[in-house]
Structure formats: structure tokens, C-alpha cells
């Protein structure tokens, strides 16, 4: 496994080792000791244990986000795409962070097998770039609807440059994602 820092401190790309032979390929999608050691190598803290695995499937142009959960159920997320493609985005929303409101985006797809580590204190979302995009992720806390918050994906104060797949004029959103902008959020996670 190799970690590649993004331009947003704390958010890193995970490139798992892939072993190819005449049968196909094998890859460890998660290995806690190796993940923790690789994070330590970048001076980053090990996350809490992952408590939940999620799997969603999206049509081309579907945008899920920007979402986060507040303490005591803040979630770190280790995300990947196993079929299709997605542009995955993390935003630092920790009150007091020197990088508050900054975002980074990474192409995740079945071919590059890349993952993105999004720590607690960051909002997360993605836009699906193909039909039938299967998005899998581990979270460091369980789903807690009362702690869940949404930030509008096109908040000009954040300025995410969302790509859209060919033929899609506008992102396809759930009603809950026509949300408030970042600076209108009533409560934001603390900088730990």
C-alpha cells in the first residue's frame, strides 16, 4: 500500500498493492496495521476502528454530498469505487482549522483502485461519472441521523469544481442535499 498526500492536509490517497497473475488479480482492500503504519509515516494519526461498511450504487450524474456527522458520531471514511467511476471530494470544515473551507477532489474508479482517506472533521461527497457506479466505504462510527448534516455541494465559499459526465446537464441530487452553505451551518466539528 502507498499513501499519496493530497493538496488538503489530512486527506490522503491510498494506492493498494495489486498482484496480477494468469488468473486475474488480488489486492488487500484494507489492512489496519499497514494503514496505521503508512499514516504514521506521513505524521498522521491512526483513526478510530472502523465500525461500519457502506455500499451505494449511483446512476451517472448522481451527486451525494456534501455530508458529515457531528460528534459524538463523527465519521472518518475510507472510500473506494469497485465498479464505474466517481469524483470524490473532501472539505475541511473543522472550526478553527487553518484549512477551513478548503476542498480536494480525486478520481476513484474500478481501474485505478484508488481509495481516499477522509478523516473526521471533513465533509464528504462524490459525483458519479458513470451509470451503475458502486461506491464502498468504511466509517469510524455508525450512522446517526440526528448527527448528520449536509452542506450544499455548490457552495461558492468552498468552490468545488464538480465534473459532470457527458450528456448530464446538472447533478442529480436528493432533496436533503439542497442544503445550507458552509458558513450557515449551525454547528461544525471542532479542530482536534
User: Is 67 known to be catalytic?
Assistant: yes
In degrees, rounded to 5, the angle at the alpha carbon of residue 39 between the alpha carbons of residues 82 and 69 is 65
Q: SS3 helix, strand, coil % of the chain, rounded to 5? A: 10, 40, 50
Nearest approach in angstroms of CB 57 to ligand T46 is 10
Q: How far is CA 171 from CA 15, 50, 57, 151, 175, in A?
A: 28, 30, 15, 15, 12
CA 158 → CA 102, 110, 155, distances in Å?
6, 28, 6
Size of the site for ligand T46 (CB under 6 A): 11
Give whichever of 77 and 152 is closer to ligand T46, judged by the CB atom: 77
Taking the CA atoms of the chain, what radius of gyration do you get in angstroms?
16
d(CA 27, CA 19): 6
- Candidates 67, 73, 99, 124; catalytic one: 67
Answer yes or no whether residue 178 interacts with ligand T46 by CB under 6 A.
no
Three cell numbers written together for 121: 472533521
Considering the complex, what minimum distance in angstroms separates the CB of residue 126 from ligand T46? 6
SS3 state of residue 71: coil
Interface mask toward ligand T46 for 50-89; x: CB under 6 A: ----x-x-------xx-x---------x------------
CB of 67 to ligand T46, least distance (A): 3
Q: Which residues of 53-86 are buried (b: 16+ CB within 10 A; e: fewer)?
A: eeeeebebbbbbbbbbbbeebbbbbbbbbeebbb
Cβ closest to ligand T46, residue 18 vs residue 57: 57
Which of 174, 178, 180, 184 is close enough to bind ligand T46 by CB under 6 A? Answer: 174
Residue among 16 and 65 whose Cβ is closer to ligand T46: 65
Binding mask 89-128 toward ligand T46 (x if CB under 6 A, else -) reads -----------------------------------xxx--
Neighbours of 45 (CB within 10 A): 12
Is 137 among the residues known to form the active site?
Answer: yes
Of the two residues 34 and 154, which places its CB atom closer to ligand T46 in the complex? 154
Chain residues that interact with ligand T46, rule: CB under 6 A: 54, 56, 64-65, 67, 77, 124-126, 143, 174
Amino acid at each position: 500500500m502507498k499513501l499519496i498526500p493530497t493538496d488538503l492536509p489530512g486527506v490522503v490517497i491510498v494506492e493498494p498493492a495489486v498482484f496480477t497473475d494468469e488468473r486475474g488479480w488480488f489486492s488487500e482492500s484494507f489492512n489496519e496495521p499497514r494503514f496505521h503504519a503508512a499514516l504514521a509515516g506521513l505524521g498522521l494519526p491512526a483513526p478510530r476502528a472502523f465500525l461500519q461498511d457502506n455500499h451505494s450504487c449511483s446512476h451517472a450524474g448522481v451527486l451525494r454530498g456534501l455530508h458529515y456527522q457531528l460528534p459524538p458520531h463523527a465519521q472518518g471514511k475510507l472510500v473506494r469505487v469497485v465498479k464505474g467511476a466517481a469524483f470524490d471530494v473532501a472539505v475541511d470544515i473543522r472550526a478553527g482549522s487553518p484549512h477551513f473551507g478548503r476542498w480536494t477532489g480525486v478520481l476513484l474508479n474500478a481501474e485505478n483502485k484508488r481509495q481516499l482517506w477522509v478523516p473526521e472533521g471533513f465533509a464528504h461527497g462524490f459525483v458519479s461519472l458513470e451509470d451503475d457506479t458502486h461506491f464502498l466505504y468504511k466509517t469510524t462510527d455508525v450512522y446517526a441521523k440526528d448527527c448528520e448534516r449536509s452542506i450544499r455541494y455548490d457552495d461558492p465559499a468552498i468552490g468545488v469544481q464538480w465534473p459532470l459526465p457527458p450528456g448530464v446537464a446538472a447533478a442529480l441530487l436528493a432533496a436533503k442535499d439542497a442544503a445550507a452553505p458552509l458558513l450557515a451551518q449551525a454547528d461544525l466539528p471542532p479542530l482536534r
